[in-house]
Amino acid sequence: MSRSVAIVGGGLAGLSAAVALAERGFAVTVIESRPRLGGRASSFSDPSTGQLIDACQHVSMGCCTNLMHFCKTVGVDRFLKDQPRLWFMTPDGRISVFKADPWPAPFHLGRALASAHYLTAMDKLRIGYGFCRLLCESPDADPPLLPWLQRHHQNARCIDRFWGVILTSALNETVDRIGMKYARKVFRDGFTRHRDGFTVQVPSVPLARLYGDELRAYLSARGVTILENTGVKAIDPASLPIAITFRDGRTLTADDVILAVPFDRVRDLLPPALADQPPFANIAKLQPSPITSVHLWFDRPLLDRPHIVLVDCLGQWIFNRGEMNPGEHYVQVVVSAARPLRGQGRDEIQRLIVQELQRLFPGPAKLLRAKVVTEQTATFSAVPGIDAFRPEQATPVANLYLAGDWTQTGWPATMEGAVISGYRAAEAVLRQHGFAEDLVQSALS
Ligand X SMILES: Cc1cc2nc3c(=O)[nH]c(=O)nc-3n(C[C@H](O)[C@H](O)[C@H](O)COP(=O)(O)OP(=O)(O)OC[C@H]3O[C@@H](n4cnc5c(N)ncnc54)[C@H](O)[C@@H]3O)c2cc1C
CB nearer to ligand X: give 12 or 27: 12
Q: Is 73 in the site for ligand X (CB under 6 A)?
A: no
Kindly state the smallest distance separating residue 277's Cβ from ligand X, in Å.
20
Q: Is 259 in the site for ligand X (CB under 6 A)?
A: no
- Interface pick for ligand X out of 13, 86, 175, 430 (rule CB under 6 A): 13
CB nearer to ligand X: give 284 or 368: 284
Kindly indicate which of the ranges 22-30, 38-46, 303-311, 387-395 contains the residues binding ligand X, using the contact rule CB under 6 A.
Answer: 38-46
Q: Is 12 in the site for ligand X (CB under 6 A)?
A: yes
**Who contacts 400 (Cβ-Cβ below 8 Å, separation ≥6)?**
235, 237, 242, 256, 257, 259
Q: Is 32 in the site for ligand X (CB under 6 A)?
A: yes
Q: Is 10 in the site for ligand X (CB under 6 A)?
A: yes
Kindly give the residue spans of alpha helices, DSSP state H, lying in 247-394.
263-269, 272-275, 280-283, 346-360
Q: Is 291 in the site for ligand X (CB under 6 A)?
A: yes
Kindly state the smallest distance separating residue 148's Cβ from ligand X, in Å.
25
- Interface pick for ligand X out of 175, 415, 426, 439 (rule CB under 6 A): 415
Residues 361-400 that bind ligand X (CB under 6 A): 375, 378-379
**Who contacts 171 (Cβ-Cβ below 8 Å, separation ≥6)?**
178, 182, 183, 186, 382, 412
Beta carbons of 358 and 367 less than 8 angstroms apart:
no
Kindly state the smallest distance separating residue 57's Cβ from ligand X, in Å.
7
Measure the CA–CA gap between 400 and 423, rounded to whole angstroms.
15
Q: Is 262 in the site for ligand X (CB under 6 A)?
A: yes
Kindly state the smallest distance separating residue 263's Cβ from ligand X, in Å.
9
Please name which of 392, 401, 405 lies closest in space to residue 257, comparing C-alpha atoms.
Answer: 401
Q: Which long-range contacts (CB under 8 A, 24 or more apart) does 18-21 make?
A: 18/219, 18/224, 18/422, 19/70, 19/73, 19/74, 19/218, 19/219, 19/422, 20/422, 20/423, 20/426, 20/439, 21/426, 21/429, 21/430
Burial state string for 378-414 with b = 16 or more CB within 10 A and e = fewer than 16: bbbbbbbebeebbbebbbeeebbbbbbbbbbbbbbbb
Q: Is 283 in the site for ligand X (CB under 6 A)?
A: no
Q: Is 274 in the site for ligand X (CB under 6 A)?
A: no
- Interface pick for ligand X out of 27, 40, 154, 335 (rule CB under 6 A): 40
Residues that bind ligand X (CB under 6 A): 8-14, 31-34, 39-41, 56, 58-60, 231-232, 260-262, 265, 291, 375, 378-379, 404-405, 413-418
